[in-house]
Structure 1
Amino acid sequence: MISDVLDRLLRAYRHMLIEKAISMGLTELQLSALLVAAEGVNTVVKLADRLMVAQPTATDTLLALEKKGFITRHRVGKTTVIKLTDKGVKAVEEVKSLFAEIDGIAQKIGGLELRLKLLELIAELQKRGLIEAKLCLTCRFFEEGFCKLLGKKLSVLELRAYCLDYQPAFTTRPL
């Protein structure tokens, strides 16, 4: 079965992230928030949604990151906007070098085909209502490899596993 392989992979990946977070003086959630903020998610509401946590949890996480010097926060109207500091950018670059190593290994064993199959697995789980995801393959703007929102055909590398502009193409069936 593939579920045991996915379980092992997830556990190893999570352990690796926890170890990296600890080495930086962060919690796993703080490191995840930093990585998400680096992707351009710059408000508390969007960050909470992306991390799948309650808004107060996201706020507490960001307060800790600010105290540790990884981000700055400022108000724009009623919205709190997040920005990485130089220390935050450096931390993200360090983690991304670790991700690059994983990507290199994945490229050798399956590359683009492996990426597409994993995205298809996520899409199918979402269609069955088992998980929440905001990926291109299940977006109303995506049709036959073309993103109507961006106005272009997307390569496998451009297919997003999480999109801020996502709108569902279907409703999930109840469990």
Structure 2
Amino acid sequence: MESPRTAPPLPMRVLEGLERIATAIRADDWNRARAAGVNPTQLAILDVLEGRPAGLAVRDLASQLGVSQPTATDSILALERKGMVEKRPEPGDGRSQRVQITPAGRDAHAARAAAPGAVAQAASALPDDQQEYLLLLVVSVIRQLQESQAIPIQRMCVSCRYFRPYAHADAAKPHHCNFVDAAFGQQDLRIDCREHETADPSVRAATWTAFEGSQPPPPSR
């Protein structure tokens, strides 16, 4: 019989919990994909392309999605047939192509975004301070994954050259974005920002040290 002393290691139990959440996310993805008239992989491609006016090369799309290039190519061809993406020559290299979202693709993406799934509803049911702390934990996990090269660099505040953590004494808005020259709070941290520009590795490391070192304590509930 399992007891607290014989339970799996803490990281394994965290992984088990994330796997349960991932199951619900996959179900949400299927529901949203059906509403958009695509499948989940095709919807994920629209997610990546939306907000990237210049588009992405097929290899970069595959890297962002964590799938093989042939898998990405098949899904892109299906989206092309539906008129949701198009390919254009890479500037300066006519042999290469970039995939761009079309107005029809944006409409499909908007239909997907209009219906929050079960996981979003569950997160929104948490108190505001717990939602904010959960966001910080998610940012920390993604940061570890990208720095270990398990995933590509994400367009997060903490990896952006415009981000200045804890630049202000205001506890409600301690951070500063140099792109818009404005202060903002923890609850406004972005996971995927259109204006993101990746900072140099040494700058990312220094930014993260400053960000992590000044974190407030977790909510006491």
1:51–1:7 distance in 2 versus 1, CA, 3 Å: same
Larger radius of gyration: 2
- For 1:74, the equivalent position in structure 2 comes to 88
**Gapped runs of 5+ residues in structure 2?**
1-12, 166-174, 206-221
TM-score by structure 2 length? 0.60
Greater relative contact order structure (CA < 8 Å, 6+ sep): 2
- For 1:118, the equivalent position in structure 2 comes to 138
Deviation of the 1:10 alpha carbon: 0.8
Deviation of the 1:25 alpha carbon: 4.4
Residue 94 (str. 1) matches residue 107 (str. 2): no
Instruction: Give 2:74's aligned amino acid.
Output: D
CA distance in 2, matches of 1:141, 1:55: 32
Find 1:63's aligned residue among 60, 64, 77. Answer: 77
TM-score by structure 1 length? 0.72
Find 2:23's aligned residue among 2, 5, 11. Answer: 11
CA distance in 1, matches of 2:178, 2:39: 38
1:48–1:154 distance in 2 versus 1, CA, 3 Å: farther
After superposition, the C-alpha distances for 1:11-60 in whole angstroms (9 at most, x for unaligned) are 11012212432455423211100122123261225433322334444333
Query: Secondary structure at the residue paired with 1:98?
Result: coil
Whichever structure has more helix as a proportion of its residues is 1
- For 2:197, the equivalent position in structure 1 comes to 165
In angstroms, what is the RMSD of aligned CA positions? 3.1
Query: Secondary structure at the residue paired with 1:99?
Result: coil
- For 1:136, the equivalent position in structure 2 comes to 157
Give percent identity, aligned residues only: 27
How many pairs are equivalent? 168
Name whichever of 29-38 and 135-144 sits farther off: 135-144
Query: Secondary structure at the residue paired with 1:165?
Result: coil
